[in-house]
Structures are given as structure tokens and as C-alpha cells.
């Protein structure tokens, strides 16, 4: 049975697209069949996944029945079980209807083990469309006041707007991104416990702030493929395994700079 | 180097945490009842207006949320009737203001 995961946050720029690409790739790296679907208002997932020049048909073509799902799915060049369904760059976003999205998700469920929906920012129609058909939500939050507040609103929305016909509450997980253990240690950034306390969601993972994330998106490769040994890639891979139900101990990022660099104020890695 | 300055100002993260906790408690309460209050206000008003003239602006609906039980308070100010005859049959005890209290069990 396929799992439909919505990656959401409320606030823009916290790492939803990066997370969708990295989690999708990490799941596919374990051999699972994964479709990553871009619901975002502006098309970016294809760029982060390095498939921007291969997009011919997008999600709207499929929901409207202009083309078949198989014609619009783009297979990843590095992982053969990873597919992308791109968002429309130019066409009217109101063209996405609830029925159309329901049909596409139902069809994706038949073919894939995982459907990862990259939700747009905001709490308007686009993001509720993406969350309505999901089984699981990953709430992406930066340890920063505006992001935490918007995540709280999205959590309220997840409870209210999801397919209540199923009569169950959606499984929700918290993914903290851009976590900087040095700043958190100094008391200049909300720490992991603060964020969990405030949002009261189970923790799926902590992605440390890292140059590797930017480097991977520069190259158009999910960080879990581009540098699997890097700290953010390992954190994403662990998060993916937790989504699969495995019991992986949480790796809390720590300040790894030595006493020397602390004393002389060198930038921590 | 905080150990040299024990009386330094508070860490910004703890200020952030406290501000968020206050704000979100407020926002969560507002969200849960965003539909309930206007709906109740409208329906109770309609029911009362059948019998007495009510100024729509003089109606207050508020909810005090508690752990076990929440208190819904509806204050409807009923004006002294300029023409008492019209009200005689319906309600002689009309006062300047009357409040009705209903206790409703909390939403959660």
C-alpha cells in the first residue's frame, strides 16, 4: 500500500523543496518506488532535482486528462526507482481541481510505494489541495520564531482540512531544518527541545545547517545522492528510514568545533 | 564568554520561546472557535429578536476556555422600550441589560 506524504511548512524558504527531493531520493535509494510531485506555485522541484530541461508535461496536463500520467512522469537519471511530476510554471493554478488531484494521487498510489507531495508556501488553496489526500505530513520548521508560528498554523490546518471522510487524524511529523548547534548551544537559536515543546509533534529528524545543501541544489542533485556521507544527507536518510517505520536513534547535531577554534573564534564547520 | 559576565542579558532563544508560547496559546484558541462564535451569535440573536427588539451592536459573545469546561457567555443588551405597549404582552421584565449564561463542554 502506497504512502502519500505531504511536505509542508506554512512559511516559504524553510526547505520544503530541498526536503522533498532529499527524502524522495533517500527512499528511492533503499529500493522503494518513489514519485515526487510538485504542488508548489512556482516550479522549482525539477530544478533542485536537475530535471528542469526534461519537463514536457506537468501536473495540470495530467489532472485535466490531456496526457497520461506515464507521459508526464520524469524518471531520475541516477536512481531508477525515482520519478518526478513537475508543477506548471505558467498555467493558471486554479486549473488544479480537487477531483483532478484526487484522480492523479489515486493512480500514483497504484504504481508507487511512496508519493511525496511538495506543498506550496502559505495556507491558501494550493497547500490544502496537496494535504487533503495525504496519509502522512512532514512539517518542515526552522528554529526561528516566524517559521515555528507558521508551522503551528499549518498543523491546525492539517487537522481541519484533510480528508475527514477517512475519519482519522493524519500522522504528523516534525522535521527541523537549518539547525545550527553552535548557535543553539549559545542560546541564540531555539533548540530542538524548544521547538518540539511548542509544536508537540513527534520528531522525524534534525537537518543541520550545511553548505552541502546549497552545493547539492547548485548541482541539481538531491543532497542524499550528491554527497551521501555528508551530515545533512545522513540526517535525511535516517529520517526516510523512520518514515519507513524503522527505529533509528536520533542523531542530535553537536558543536564539533574544537576548543582551539572556539577560543580563536574560527567559523565552525 | 558568558562565564565572565554572569549578569548578562537573557539569551535570545529563551525570549523567542516565551514569545511563541504566549502567541500560539492565543492563536490556537482563536482558531478553534473561529466559526463557533459568529454562528452562535447569529442564531441566538435571531431567536431573541423574535420576541424583543435587539440592537445588533449591543451583543457580546465570549468564551472562557478552561481545562475541563469552557464558559460561553452571551450578553444581549435590551433597550428600554420607548413604547412599552408593544412589549407588554411579551415581556414585562425587560431590563436595561440581561445576560444569559450557557455552559458548554469544551471542544476537546
Q: Compute the distance between CA of residue A249 and CA of residue A247 in angstroms, rounded to an integer.
A: 7
Average pLDDT over residues A212-216: 96
Nearest CB to B11; choose among A144, A152, A187: A187
Q: What is the dihedral of CA A19, A25, A29, A34, to 10 degrees?
A: 110
The overall average pLDDT reported for chain A is: 90
Q: What's the confidence (pLDDT) of residue B17?
A: 93
Partnered with residue B70 across adjacent β-strands are: B104
CA A236, chain centre distance (Å): 10
* Of A90, A73, A79, the residue nearest A36 (C-alpha): A73
A48 vs A45, A82, A137, A183, CA distance in Å? 5, 14, 21, 27
Q: What's the confidence (pLDDT) of residue B71?
A: 78
Spell out the CATH class of A3-263: alpha beta
The residue length of chain B stands at: 108
How far is A221 from chain B, CA to nearest CA, in Å?
34
Q: What's the confidence (pLDDT) of residue B79?
A: 74
Do the chains contact at B13 and A153, CB–CB below 8 Å?
A: no
Nearest CB to A156; choose among B14, B17, B28: B28
Residues of B in contact with A153 (CB under 8 A): 27, 31
Give A143's DSSP letter: S
Average pLDDT over residues A256-263: 60
Residue A236: how many CB atoms within 10 A of its CB? 29
Do the chains contact at A187 and B23, CB–CB below 8 Å?
A: no
Residue A24 gets the label, from left (phi > 0), alpha (psi -120 to 50) or beta, of alpha
Q: Is B103 a residue whose pLDDT tops 60?
A: no
Give A55's DSSP letter: -
Average pLDDT over residues A218-243: 97
Cell 504504481, residue located? A111
pLDDT digits (tens, 9 = 90+) for B58-85: 777 777 777 777 777 788 887 776 555 4
Per-domain boundaries in chain A? 3-263
Least confident of A6-20, A218-232, B87-101: B87-101
Do the chains contact at B12 and A187, CB–CB below 8 Å?
A: yes
Please report how the helices A125-132 and A98-111 are oriented relative to each other, as an axis angle in degrees rounded to 10: 40
pLDDT digits (tens, 9 = 90+) for A43-99: 899 999 999 999 999 999 999 999 999 999 999 999 999 999 999 876 676 788 889
Nearest CB to B20; choose among A148, A153, A156: A148
Is the ipTM reported for this complex over the cut 0.85? no
Q: What's the confidence (pLDDT) of residue A167?
A: 58
Chain A residues near any Cβ of chain B (below 8 Å)? 144-145, 148-149, 152-153, 156, 184, 186-191, 194, 197-198
Q: Compute the distance between CA of residue A145 and CA of residue A163 in angstroms, rounded to an integer.
A: 29
Contacts of A67 (CB under 8 A, 6+ apart): A57, A61
How far is B68 from chain A, CA to nearest CA, in Å?
20
Residue A65: how many CB atoms within 10 A of its CB? 10
Q: Compute the distance between CA of residue A153 and CA of residue A57 in angstroms, rounded to an integer.
A: 33
Average pLDDT over residues A196-200: 94
Q: What's the confidence (pLDDT) of residue A126?
A: 80
Amino acid at each position: 500500500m502506497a504512502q502519500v506524504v505531504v511536505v509542508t511548512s506554512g512559511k516559504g524558504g524553510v526547505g520544503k523543496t530541498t526536503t522533498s527531493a532529499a527524502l524522495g531520493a533517500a527512499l528511492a535509494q533503499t529500493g522503494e518506488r518513489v514519485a515526487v510531485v510538485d504542488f508548489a506555485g512556482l516550479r522549482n522541484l525539477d530544478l533542485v532535482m536537475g530535471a528542469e530541461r526534461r519537463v514536457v508535461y506537468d501536473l495540470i496536463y495530467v489532472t485535466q486528462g490531456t496526457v497520461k500520467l506515464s507521459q508526464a512522469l520524469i524518471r531520475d537519471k541516477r536512481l531508477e526507482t525515482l520519478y518526478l511530476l513537475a508543477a506548471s510554471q505558467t498555467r493558471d493554478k486554479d486549473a488544479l481541481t480537487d477531483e483532478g488531484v484526487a484522480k492523479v494521487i489515486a493512480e500514483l498510489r497504484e504504481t508507487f510505494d511512496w508519493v511525496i507531495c511538495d506543498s506550496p508556501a502559505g495556507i491558501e488553496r494550493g497547500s490544502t489541495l496537496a494535504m487533503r489526500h495525504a496519509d502522512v505530513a512532514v512539517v518542515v520548521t526552522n528554529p526561528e520564531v516566524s517559521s515555528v508560528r507558521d508551522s503551528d498554523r499549518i498543523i491546525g490546518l492539517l487537522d481541519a482540512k484533510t480528508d475527514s471522510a477517512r475519519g482519522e487524524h493524519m500522522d504528523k511529523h516534525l522535521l527541523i531544518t537549518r539547525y545550527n548547534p553552535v548557535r543553539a548551544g549559545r542560546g541564540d537559536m531555539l533548540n530542538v527541545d524548544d521547538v518540539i515543546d511548542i509544536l508537540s509533534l513527534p520528531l522525524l529528524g534534525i537537518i543541520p545547517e550545511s553548505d552541502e545543501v546549497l552545493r547539492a541544489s547548485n548541482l541539481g542533485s538531491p543532497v542524499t545522492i550528491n554527497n551521501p556521507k555528508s551530515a545533512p544527507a545522513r540526517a535525511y536518510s535516517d529520517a526516510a528510514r523512520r518514515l519507513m517505520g524503522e527505529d533509528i536513534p536520533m542523531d542530535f547535531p553537536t558543536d564539533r568545533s574544537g576548543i582551539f577554534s572556539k577560543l580563536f573564534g574560527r567559523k565552525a564547520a | 564568554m558568558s562565564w565572565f559576565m554572569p549578569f548578562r542579558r537573557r539569551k535570545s532563544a529563551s525570549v523567542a520561546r516565551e514569545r511563541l508560547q504566549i502567541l500560539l496559546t492565543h492563536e490556537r484558541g482563536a482558531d478553534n472557535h473561529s466559526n463557533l462564535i459568529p454562528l452562535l451569535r447569529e442564531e441566538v440573536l435571531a431567536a431573541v429578536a423574535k420576541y424583543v427588539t435587539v440592537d445588533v451592536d449591543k451583543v457580546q459573545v465570549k468564551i472562557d476556555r478552561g481545562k475541563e469546561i469552557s464558559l460561553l457567555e452571551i450578553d444581549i443588551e435590551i433597550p428600554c422600550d420607548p413604547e412599552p405597549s408593544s412589549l407588554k404582552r411579551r415581556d414585562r421584565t425587560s431590563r436595561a441589560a440581561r445576560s444569559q449564561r450557557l455552559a458548554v463542554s469544551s471542544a476537546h
